[in-house]
Amino acid sequence: MNIKTQRTIRLTLSYLVIGIMFMIILYPLAWIVGSSFNPGQSLSGSSIIPENATLKHYKELFDTSQSNYLTWYWNSLKVSTLTMLFTVISVSLTAYAFSRYRFVGRKNGLLTFLILQMIPNFAALIAIFVLALQTGLLDTHLGLILVYVGGQIPMNTWLMKGYLDTIPKELDESAKMDGAGHLRIFFQIVMPLATPIISVVALFSFISPFADFILASILLRSEDKYTLPVGLYDLVAKQFGAEFTTFAAGSVLIALPIALLFLYFQKYFVSGLTAGGTKG
């Protein structure tokens, strides 16, 4: 078997594997989109390409007399955006401190963050619920945001620290010689160079709250404070309703802000994630 034949076989197998993986990923998405246009409420008769496509389910979602979907959407956007903002601020300051300064407890702090990032938030559901109850943050968006931000800090701190370690410290020293203080170095020198990793952290910290169901279902009690995953589950789990195709329509709309945010940050995503994987 000559080299050309071997290369053709390898290329064919590569495309075959890519095609199979593409179908595995695409089929559920296409099925959900198709189901959202199917008439009726049952998924048993749904198909990827509906015969009698309808926008009825989308209209029902935006009809405030039939559902609180718009309220849930606003709640999710608010919680996710504030979580993203507070996470980026806190992670940037924490990662900068660990990357640029040497202080007592630095190694232990990094080790603690490494251990914490291995423990998912839902593993401490009881503790989170009791703490929220005792602090009066149960059934509030503030309590949910604080839990999300706290859960985002360990992993993203390690990720951003790895990126900041790749930025030469000589830039800091040169700025100090010119009279720049710590905050000026942080805001005017380091952070502009860290735009790729900030974009990665922002994207991760937005997606997690927007798609989370477990924590939101534990902390939120009022229907007008539900986020999208909790609200859609409540829509399907109603006593006399099994509105699965409406649920599919709501699920399709959930993907829109995430897709738009990813498209906006995609030029920074690969470089930020790759460089952030290094440890200094």
User: Is-contact 204 156, C-beta < 8 A?
Assistant: yes
What's the rounded mean pLDDT across residues 237-251?
72
Whether the per-residue pLDDT at 161 is higher than 80: the answer is yes
Whether the per-residue pLDDT at 135 is higher than 50: the answer is yes
Residues with Cβ within 8 Å of residue 60, at least 6 apart in sequence = 66, 67, 246, 249
User: Is-contact 166 280, C-beta < 8 A?
Assistant: yes
Whether the per-residue pLDDT at 273 is higher than 80: the answer is no
120 three-class SS: coil
How many other CB atoms are there within 10 angstroms of residue 223's CB atom? 12
Q: How far, in Å, are 24, 27, 28, 135, 194 from residue 17 at the CA level?
A: 11, 15, 18, 52, 36
End-to-end Cα separation, the chain, in angstroms = 47
What's the rounded mean pLDDT across residues 143-166?
90
**Lowest mean per-residue pLDDT among 89-93, 131-135, 137-141, 177-181:** 177-181
Whole-angstrom Cα distance, residue 91 to residue 149? Answer: 9
**Residue intervals in the chain for CATH 1.10.3720.10:** 63-276
Whole-angstrom Cα distance, residue 21 to residue 25? Answer: 6
Of 158 and 235, the one with more pLDDT = 158
Please report the pLDDT score of residue 258 as a whole number. Answer: 83
Whether the per-residue pLDDT at 82 is higher than 90: the answer is yes
CATH of 63-276, one of 1.10.3720.10, 1.10.3470.10, 3.30.1280.10, 1.25.40.10: 1.10.3720.10
Please report the pLDDT score of residue 43 as a whole number. Answer: 62
Whether the per-residue pLDDT at 277 is higher than 60: the answer is no
What's the rounded mean pLDDT across residues 112-120?
81
**Lowest mean per-residue pLDDT among 96-100, 123-127, 215-219:** 123-127
Tokens of 50: 């509906």
| Residue spans of alpha helices (H) in the chain | 3-36, 56-62, 69-100, 106-116, 125-135, 141-164, 170-177, 182-185, 191-193, 195-211, 214-219, 228-236, 244-276
Tokens of 180: 């720049």
Task: Report how far Cα 273 is from the mean position of its chain's Cα atoms.
Answer: 14
Please report the pLDDT score of residue 74 as a whole number. Answer: 94
In which band, very low, low, confident or very high, does the pLDDT at 276 lie, cut at 50, 70 and 90?
very low
Tokens of 233: 């589950």
Of 58 and 93, the one with more pLDDT = 93
Whether the per-residue pLDDT at 250 is higher than 90: the answer is no
Average pLDDT, rounded, for the chain: 84
User: Is-contact 148 235, C-beta < 8 A?
Assistant: no
How many other CB atoms are there within 10 angstroms of residue 72's CB atom? 25
280 three-class SS: coil
Please report the pLDDT score of residue 280 as a whole number. Answer: 46
Q: Among residues 75, 83, 73, which one has the least CA distance to residue 209?
A: 83
What's the rounded mean pLDDT across residues 196-206?
89
What's the rounded mean pLDDT across residues 213-232?
91
Whole-angstrom Cα distance, residue 251 to residue 255? Answer: 7
Whether the per-residue pLDDT at 163 is higher than 80: the answer is yes
Does pTM top 0.85 for this prediction?
A: no
Q: How far, in Å, are 88, 119, 129, 200, 269 from residue 194 at the CA level?
A: 12, 27, 36, 10, 12
Of 204 and 65, the one with more pLDDT = 204
Residues with Cβ within 8 Å of residue 274, at least 6 apart in sequence = none
CA dihedral 159, 165, 171, 173 (to 10 degrees): 120
Q: Among residues 137, 140, 146, 143, which one has the least CA distance to residue 224?
A: 140
